[in-house]
Amino acid sequence: MTSCGCDGFASIFDEDTARRDRDRYRRQGPDRTTLMLLEMIRARAVDGITLLDVGGGIGVVDRELLRAGAADAVLVDGSAAYLEVARVEAEADGVGDRIRMIRGDFTRLAADVPPADVVTLDRVICCYPDVDALVDLSAARARRLYGLVLPRDRWLARFLIGLENLWFAIRRRPYRAFGHSNTRVDARVTAAGLRRVEERVTPLWRVVVFERPEAIA
């Protein structure tokens, strides 16, 4: 284990995977669930907002919102390969000077990461074992909106996560995926003072945005 605490992530979120994600985004834009998340955020807050993107990978959410009018973004991710692609793509988009990139485990770094108007975790909760710490620390930094994409509480999602983990075990990869309880996640977010304002679903994924009531009072 490195001081970053990201060995498990790096075992699958490597240079090849980062390039594939980059090429897919260039061809077709954001994935369906990411697009849902972006639409829900844009409907409520874009111009001049600050963004904290936890586990943001190649920076799709960051670049999309910066181009739409966000002021600046902080991208935290455990994969050096993903952050390098994010840096190059942000520079190419002309928004590189408005993204700060931090490599590491967000739960270890959270005390040094400033709050933001909008905090997003796009398919990140399923990558992290300690869901309580991840949600508590990230939700506490959301001044206005908190957006999540996570697996639904359905047997199919749990079955596919189990198959994925079996494949990782066969290949001797340390990374494991997690099907955390949506009810548990919602309870932690609510305890942080946010309320659910919109939700969309696909057969496997749940996209949900929470809002801090006092931010719109």
Q: How far is CA 217 from CA 24, 42, 112, in A?
A: 40, 19, 28
| 205 alpha carbon, distance to own chain's centre | 13
Q: Which residue type occupies 144?
A: R
User: What is the C-alpha to C-alpha distance for residues 76 and 162, in angstroms, rounded to an integer?
Assistant: 27
Give the residue carrying structure tokens 């000077």.
97
pLDDT (average), residues 137-157: 96
**Predicted local distance difference test score (pLDDT) of residue 2:** 34
Burial 155-189, CB ≥16 within 10 A → b, else e: eebeeebeeebeebeeeeeebebebbebeebbebb
Domain ranges in the chain?
7-216
- 131-139 and 182-191 helices, crossing angle to 10°: 40
pTM exceeds 0.85:
yes
104-138 residue pLDDT tens: 999 999 999 999 999 999 999 999 999 999 999 99
Which two tokens mark 90?
């942000």
Which two tokens mark 91?
């520079």
**Predicted local distance difference test score (pLDDT) of residue 3:** 36
List 51's β-bridge partners, or say none. Answer: 73, 118
User: What is the C-alpha to C-alpha distance for residues 186 and 131, in angstroms, rounded to an integer?
Assistant: 11
φ and ψ of 176, to 5 deg:
-135, 145
19-55 residue pLDDT tens: 999 999 999 999 999 999 999 999 998 899 999 999 9
Confidence of residue 198 (pLDDT cuts 50, 70, 90): very high
Is a pLDDT exceeding 90 seen at residue 8? no
**Predicted local distance difference test score (pLDDT) of residue 175:** 83
48-94 residue pLDDT tens: 999 999 999 999 999 999 999 999 999 999 999 999 999 999 999 99
Q: Note the CATH number of domain 7-216.
A: 3.40.50.150
Average model confidence (pLDDT) for the chain? 92
User: What is the C-alpha to C-alpha distance for residues 39 and 22, in angstroms, rounded to an integer?
Assistant: 21
- Residue of higher predicted confidence among 131 and 217: 131
User: What is the C-alpha to C-alpha distance for residues 17 and 15, in angstroms, rounded to an integer?
Assistant: 6
**Predicted local distance difference test score (pLDDT) of residue 1:** 28
User: What is the C-alpha to C-alpha distance for residues 5 and 26, in angstroms, rounded to an integer?
Assistant: 30
**Predicted local distance difference test score (pLDDT) of residue 5:** 42
159-175 residue pLDDT tens: 999 998 898 899 888 88
pLDDT (average), residues 12-19: 88
